[in-house]
A and B are shown apart, each in its own frame.
Chain A
Amino acid sequence: MIGRHRHLIGLEDLSREEILLVLALATSMKEVLRRPLKKVPTLRGKAVVNLFFEASTRTRTSFETAAKILSADAVNWTASSSSVSKGETLLDTARNIEAMRPDLLVIRHPAGGAPRFIADRVGCSVVSAGDGAHEHPSQGLLDMYTLAEHFTRNSGGAKDGAPDFATLSGRTVTIVGDVTHSRVARSNLHGLLKLGARVRVCGPPTMIPPGIEALGASVYYHLRPAVEGADAVMMLRIQHERIGDPLLPGTREYSKIWGLNEKKVNEWLSPSCAILHPGPINRGVELSPEVADGPRSVILEQVENGVAVRMAILYLLAGAAPAEPAEGAARA
């Protein structure tokens, strides 16, 4: 259970305290991840099924690694090589997987709402690994963890010590790119605002959803004012399928107006501003290679913290007695 939730569908559902519970636990999990013998017996005998209806290497591998370090058995199920290509419905697939008695389902799906749909209909816990343009909660959590680590380091905290999540309060984080179609942006927006950060979103007007101000973000249509004075900049990946779309004429134009290169970084960003990217990077589009590999980049920290955060999620949802079946019907 994450507080009162037996599923993790989105950060919109979690309270500030529930988010802090996962983040604090991730620090203990990161210590396990860095041990010479990185295996603890905690989830022995628990089965985690990674149910991926959309291509993903990083997130799936990260969940799989997290499950294995905790001694759970991880099974991967990918749509491209499965019965989905033979026409099976989402619910039938989920029910069939459920009949194999997993303790936890990790679901990635191109349609927003799919993890919630399944969570309401199966007995085990469900973790969303990204659904459509809705949310990507584990990514939001690992981004917040990485930001807190960066801010703690910069405010004189111990280099390898535990991040202080109170450092997120009052910080400005700018999210740049296709905010409309980004589940990463949405999860970060919900999470960061709950922990007291200020969030700016920036991108072409065609890629900023109308009404996002109502959630608490400030909207910028020009990159320079959006990143100036920010404590961190999160660059979103431009999805290739959108290029050539009326939303976006081409990558060169996007890169020129919305991408970060060394010159812009040096002239516009404050000295301590970190650069994040959820991966995979389109080198030369959102980020120039010098920036992606530069001293401000915390991109590889994000990947390492991703495993720790996912270990924390799996532990909280599968590390205790299974929740009462009666609760299964209720929305977590």
Chain B
Amino acid sequence: MREQVVMNAEAIERHLKRMAREVLERARGGDLAIVGIRRGGVHLAKRLRFDLAQASGKEVPLGTLDIALYRDDLSERPNAPVVGPTDIQFSVTGKTIVLVDDVLYTGRTVRAALDELVDFGRPRRVLLVVLVDRGGRELPIAPDVVGAQLEVPEPEQVEVRLVEEGAGVDEVIVRTRGQA
């Protein structure tokens, strides 16, 4: 196993600040709310919310989605996946929802998240915001705001580590299966 750091703490912070500005441009004054996809998107969503408040002077509502109940591979898995908390305390109807995840890969998680989100109401728009787009899409899904675009071949893994989740430092790494 070999690990390569592709984004350090400073780069993550810089990307998020820029992404917050892009979200504001894209939202064009819409009524914003942020929803983080569990688990990787939750802490990024909190940070983005902070950066949005810094850039716009406005605090926007924050929610969390767990997509386990909406997965498309349940009947192929040996065990039912753990279902974490979904917590959306505001009405999504009419809002511009900023949907946040750490890594965009096949697009299946985003498909599930969109299905779950519309069960809470009818957002005016949904903006997909990801820190890393690693390519490899299996569904026609594209992000609106991206931190970094990387072409990572299939056997390798992209992992976003944040101090909020117990990491020593914030970093994004690409893990390659070693020859040993």
Contacts and interface: CB of A to CB of B under 8 A. Distances in A.
A29 B84 CA distance: 10
> What are the 4 tightest A-B residue pairs by CB atom distance, in nearest-first order?
A319-B80, A28-B83, A40-B69, A42-B69
A321 B77 CA distance: 5
B85 A28 contact: yes
A42 B74 CA distance: 8
B119 A320 contact: no
Interface stretch (A30-38, A204-212, A295-303): A30-38
Nearest to B89: A160
A320 B69 contact: no
A22 to B, nearest CB: 11
Contacts of B90: none
B86 A320 contact: no
Contacts of A1: 78-80
Contacts of B69: 28, 32, 40-42, 70, 315
Majority DSSP secondary structure for residues of B touching A: loop
Interface of B: 66, 68-70, 74-80, 82-87, 115-116, 119-121
Contacts of B116: 40
Interface string A40-73: 1110010000000000000000000000001000
A103 B123 CA distance: 36
B83 A25 contact: yes
A75 to B, nearest CB: 20
A316 interface: yes
Contacts of B75: 45, 320-322
A322 B80 CA distance: 11
Given A40-B70, A41-B70, 18 more contacts: A1-B78, A27-B85, A28-B84, A28-B85, A28-B86, A31-B85, A31-B86, A31-B87, A32-B69, A32-B86, A37-B120, A40-B116, A40-B119, A42-B69, A42-B74, A70-B69, A320-B78, A321-B75
B85 A35 contact: no
20 contacts: A25-B82, A25-B83, A28-B69, A31-B86, A36-B121, A37-B120, A39-B119, A40-B116, A42-B70, A45-B75, A315-B80, A316-B80, A319-B80, A320-B75, A320-B78, A320-B80, A321-B76, A321-B77, A321-B78, A322-B75
Contacts of B80: 1, 315-316, 319-320
A276 B75 CA distance: 37
B85 A320 contact: no
A70 B119 CA distance: 13
A162 interface: yes
A162 B87 CA distance: 12
Question: Interface size bucket, A side?
Answer: 20 to 34
A320 B75 CA distance: 5
A9 to B, nearest CB: 19
A133 B83 CA distance: 33
A99 B70 CA distance: 29
A1 B82 CA distance: 12
Contacts of B84: 28
A40 B120 CA distance: 11
B85 A319 contact: no
A236 to B, nearest CB: 32
Contacts of A315: 69, 80, 83
Contacts of A316: 80
A40 B80 CA distance: 15
Nearest to A40: B69
A237 B119 CA distance: 40
Contacts of A29: 83
Contact of B119 (A25, A31, A37, A321): A37
Contacts of B120: 35-37
A29 B85 CA distance: 9
A60 B120 CA distance: 28
A152 to B, nearest CB: 15
Given A37-B120, A321-B77, A28 B66 contact: yes
Contact of B77 (A32, A35, A39, A320): A320
Nearest to B83: A28
A39 B77 CA distance: 22
Interface string A142-160: 0000000000000000000
A37 B75 CA distance: 24
B79 A320 contact: yes
Nearest to B112: A41
